[in-house]
Amino acid sequence: MKKTLSWWDLIWFGIGAVIGAGIFVLTGQEARDSAGPAVILSYVVSGVSAMLSVFCYTEFAVEIPVAGGSFAYLRVELGDFMAFIAAGNILLEYVIGGAAVARSWTSYFATLLNHHPNDFRIHAASLNPDYSRLDPIAVAVIAIVCLAAVSSTKATSRFNYVASIVHLAIIVFIIIAGLTQANPKNLSDFTPFGVRGVFSASAVLFFAYVGFDAVSTMAEETKNPAKDIPLGLVGAMAITTGCYCLLALTLCLMQPYSQIDPDAPFSVAFQAIGMDWAKYIVAFGALKGMTTVLLVSAVGQARYLTHIARTHMVPPWLAEVHATTGTPVNATVVMLVATAVIAFFTSLGILSNLLSISTLFIFMMVAVALLVRRYYAPQTWGVPLVPWLPSASIAINTFLLGSIDGPSFVRFGIWTALLLVYYFFGLHASYDTAKAASNDGV
């Protein structure tokens, strides 16, 4: 792929990939139901975990500058089997994350038009309640994003750069306008659900940091990976964490936690304090941010699948790069079709919990791989404080996994079982297909 990206591009890719549905939707849900005003601390905990993972990613991204991201790193350090299990969860992470953002897009679009989100969803009463609100708008948004993602990586970068600036401007507006109506009494009952509530919310809010690993998939298209990847990843995460904490504080100062709306918390909060005009700005900003997240994530997930196909663990036609656009069109379309199907049926609560499990598992495995690597491989850019830093990442990720609900682990177990069935009984088909194609070429 073409090397066109700098560290500045990567910072904005990181911001665009991360700031979206997590902060604009899950903040309200977790403040109301799990942590109360202490949701601010939940963001700090999940932010620390994410930053530790970022440092682990940077060393691999510099040393192995390919489109495969964590799949490529784990394959080099831990072998094909662990890499395949990780790959399945990486793909699940991207599909679920994109689906969650798309459904959140519908929620804020409804707010912009003074409607409840379910007014724009089809109620299929015969289905399980968690899957009965069918969301055609989410599917339409994903289809538009797919067309944009296959056009050009550099064009996507330029769009993301402009959109992220607008997005950050609206975040600054939310903070300033919201704090002018702040009521410190709303923080008086700071931890209504106790310490357990704080960590339970932290596990779910980890969803809000998902996406930064998409930056590492850009390594193959980065001009100077040794310099650009660390600056891009760490810079994006530092800005994102600061924004999250300030936004969470602002929301909790604007409204008592028990009155926060779980679907469009910031828009409804401005309406509740008598600033109806501001809710339209907020809804527009949320839509802008979530569109950018979908676009950047689409670029990242396609590159993951492209690299996995290059190893022949999935059909090799998914690795084809279009001669004109220089983008992996087949992989992009396949991933976004899967995302659209999940977004059409599944509620945000189901998606956010399952996504957190997959992401925490992957980040924990990358930290393990870094420890393995340091025992035998030299490095161009080395993460400091090894083994303490990756060990801390493993510990906090494992702890947060223990805070996620049981049904989500059941779904995670079913997905893992399906991966194992494919690995032991279906994987040879991909290798056979690749071998046949190679022989035909000869």
What's the pLDDT tens digit per position in 356-410? 888 888 889 999 999 988 877 766 667 888 889 999 999 999 998 888 888 889 9
Lowest average pLDDT, out of 84-93, 268-277, 288-297, 414-423, goes to: 288-297
Q: Are 164 and 9 in contact (CB under 8 A)?
A: no
* Mean pLDDT for all residues in the chain: 82
Domain covering 7-434, topology: Amino acid/polyamine transporter I (1.20.1740)
Tell me how far apart the alpha carbons of residues 438 and 133 are, in angstroms, rounded to a whole number.
Answer: 46
Tell me how far apart the alpha carbons of residues 432 and 313 are, in angstroms, rounded to a whole number.
Answer: 10
Nearest to 133 by CA among 146, 116, 111: 116
Overall average pLDDT of the 321-327 stretch: 72
Provide the token pair at 189.
């009952």
- The identity of residue 337, as a single letter, is V
The C-alpha torsion from 284 through 353 and 398 to 98, rounded to 10°, is -50
pLDDT above 90 as % of the chain: 19
Lowest average pLDDT, out of 124-138, 401-415, 423-437, goes to: 423-437
Amino acid 251: pLDDT: 93
Any residues with CB less than 8 A from the CB of 208 and at least 6 apart, and which?
Answer: 18, 22, 23, 26, 27, 43, 46, 244
Provide the token pair at 427.
């994987």
Tell me how far apart the alpha carbons of residues 218 and 240 are, in angstroms, rounded to a whole number.
Answer: 19
Tell me how far apart the alpha carbons of residues 436 and 430 are, in angstroms, rounded to a whole number.
Answer: 10
Tell me how far apart the alpha carbons of residues 327 and 319 are, in angstroms, rounded to a whole number.
Answer: 10
Tell me how far apart the alpha carbons of residues 307 and 313 are, in angstroms, rounded to a whole number.
Answer: 10
Distances (CA, A) of 262 to 151, 172, 257, 398, 409: 35, 22, 10, 27, 23
Tell me how far apart the alpha carbons of residues 248 and 288 are, in angstroms, rounded to a whole number.
Answer: 19
Give SS3 for 122: strand
Lowest average pLDDT, out of 210-219, 270-279, 311-320, goes to: 210-219
More confident residue, 291 or 338: 338
Per residue in 72-127, pLDDT tens? 788 888 888 888 888 888 888 888 888 888 888 888 888 888 888 889 999 888 88
Overall average pLDDT of the 198-210 stretch: 84
Q: In the beta sheet, which residues pair with residue 133?
A: 123
Overall average pLDDT of the 246-258 stretch: 93
- Residue 436: how many other CB atoms lie within 10 Å: 10
Overall average pLDDT of the 188-194 stretch: 91
Tell me how far apart the alpha carbons of residues 154 and 239 are, in angstroms, rounded to a whole number.
Answer: 22
Overall average pLDDT of the 27-42 stretch: 89
Per residue in 64-82, pLDDT tens? 776 567 777 888 888 888 8
- The domain limits of the chain are 7-434
More confident residue, 325 or 134: 134
